[in-house]
Structures are given as structure tokens and as C-alpha cells.
């Protein structure tokens, strides 16, 4: 457990109540401001002081599913609402499925995600810069120096963020270049936005590890993805 909690990168974590950053920890709901814990420079990140990644969940086996459940009480991390969360994991036919359900008794903010990392060439096989990525997203969301978005999209065409045709993640000198958005993220740590009307039945991303020959396809019905 200590190794899991102390890895420093939320490796494999179940993130909540809110994945990613909330500017200055200020959450506004119906005109009321809730001050959340600051744990990432001057911002709130991944649920705060003790996010869902650090909770002991109730675990049950339901047929071929692993179902985790948790009650996050009203006021925890200063979020409003008693929030009941269940997360169901399945693995069948080569498909890893994760399904989240959350119900609150007050209006609140919820943004649950899984924080898995994959090296398709295998553990101990170096970095993933030689992996080939196709990411079907024509836009990226610019941020300030603390990775907070303030509105607007940036077209990826002609930039290091263009993975609309498959290429190596570390292709050329992209990660050592002078792109301002890439510099702010310390590499890729950005929200990629899909075209409206994109079919959720088609993979939004395909990642290939050339050393192993393993290919991973990713699917979502959400409008954007963090890469």
C-alpha cells in the first residue's frame, strides 16, 4: 500500500472527486464559492489532500465484475454533497472496461477518471517515446503556466500536438522544441478535443509498441481526453 500511495505520479489511481486542476481551488456552485485544498502550486488537483486514490473502497465480486463503492460525505475536501460512487471493472475478450457511477444529494462538481499509464513494450523497457500514437483530435486546449485553461481551442495542424496521423510520441525534436504550450506542460499533459459528432464506436486513440507488437485501442463517449 505504501508504494502505491507514495509513487508521486498517481500511477494507476482512481481519481476523484475531481480529476485535473481547479483554478486557485475556487469551486463556484450557484453563486456560492467553496474553497478547496491547494495541493498543486496554487491550484486544487485530483481531489485534494486525500483524494479517492487514497481511500479504502468497499470491494465486491459481482459475476465477472469487480465493483468498488465509496461514500464521500458532504464537506469532504470542502466539496458540497454526499456523493455515492461505484466503479465497476471488467476484463473480457481483451477489453478492459471501467464504468463509473456517481450520485450526489446536492449540486456539486464531479470528474472521475482512471490514471493508468501503459508501456506497451513491457515493464523495464525504457520510455515510451518510440511508441506510435494516432489521436483523432483536431484541437488542444491551451493553458497558463500552471496548466489552467482559460477558454479557447488551438488547432493541432502544423504543431507538435498533431497526432491525427500516426507518429512516434517523441518524433523529431518535438519534446525539445520551442512550442510554448509544450513547454508549459513539461511535455505532453494537455486536453485534446474531438470533433463534434465523432462516433464513440470508433477508437479515439490507437497506441502501438513496436518492440512488442502490442496495439491498444481507446474508446470514449466524452468530448475530450487528457494525453
Contact in structure between 100 and 112 (CB atoms under 8 Å): yes
CB-count burial class (<10 Å; 0-12, 13-18, 19+) for 14: buried
Give CA–CA dist 201/55, Å, rounded.
Answer: 33
Number of Cβ within a 10 Å radius of residue 151 = 6
Model pLDDT, residue 212: 96
Q: DSSP assignment, residue 195? A: P
44-45 and 21-22: which strand pairing? antiparallel
Supply φ then ψ for residue 222, to 5 degrees.
Answer: -85, 165
- The predicted structure's pLDDT at residue 24: 97
C-alpha–C-alpha distance, residues 143 and 166, integer Å: 25
> How high is the pLDDT of residue 177?
74
**Residue 129: its pLDDT value, please?**
94
Handedness of CA 17, 5, 226, 118 (dihedral sign): negative
Residues lower than pLDDT 70 in the chain: none
Q: What's the whole-model pTM score?
A: 0.86
Helix (H, G, I), strand (E, B) or coil at 16: coil
Tens-digit pLDDT profile for residues 168-184: 999 877 777 789 999 99
Q: Distances from the Cα of 159 to the Cαs of 67, 126, 136, 138, 155, in angstroms?
A: 41, 26, 14, 11, 8
The closest of 56, 82, 77, 76 to 68, measured between CA atoms, is 56
Amino acid at each position: 500500500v505504501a508504494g502505491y500511495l507514495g509513487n508521486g505520479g498517481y500511477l494507476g489511481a482512481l481519481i476523484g472527486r475531481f480529476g485535473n486542476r481547479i483554478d486557485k481551488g475556487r469551486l463556484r456552485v450557484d453563486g456560492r464559492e467553496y474553497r478547496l485544498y491547494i495541493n498543486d502550486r496554487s491550484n486544487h488537483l485530483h481531489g485534494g489532500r486525500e483524494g479517492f486514490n487514497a481511500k479504502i473502497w468497499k470491494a465486491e465480486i459481482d459475476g465477472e465484475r469487480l465493483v468498488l463503492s465509496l461514500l464521500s460525505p458532504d464537506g469532504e475536501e470542502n466539496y458540497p454533497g454526499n456523493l455515492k460512487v461505484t466503479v465497476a471493472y471488467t476484463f473480457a475478450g481483451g477489453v478492459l472496461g471501467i464504468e463509473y457511477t456517481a450520485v450526489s444529494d446536492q449540486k456539486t462538481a464531479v470528474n472521475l477518471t482512471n490514471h493508468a499509464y501503459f508501456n506497451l513494450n513491457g515493464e523495464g523497457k525504457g520510455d515510451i517515446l518510440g511508441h506510435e500514437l494516432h489521436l483523432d483530435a483536431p484541437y488542444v486546449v491551451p493553458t497558463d503556466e500552471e496548466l489552467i485553461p482559460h477558454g479557447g481551442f488551438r488547432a493541432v495542424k502544423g504543431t507538435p500536438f498533431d497526432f491525427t496521423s500516426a507518429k512516434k510520441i517523441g518524433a523529431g525534436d518535438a519534446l525539445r522544441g520551442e512550442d510554448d504550450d509544450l513547454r508549459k506542460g513539461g511535455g505532453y499533459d494537455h486536453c485534446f478535443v474531438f470533433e463534434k459528432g465523432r462516433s464513440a464506436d470508433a477508437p479515439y486513440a490507437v497506441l502501438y509498441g513496436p518492440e512488442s507488437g502490442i496495439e491498444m485501442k481507446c474508446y470514449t463517449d466524452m468530448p475530450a481526453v487528457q494525453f
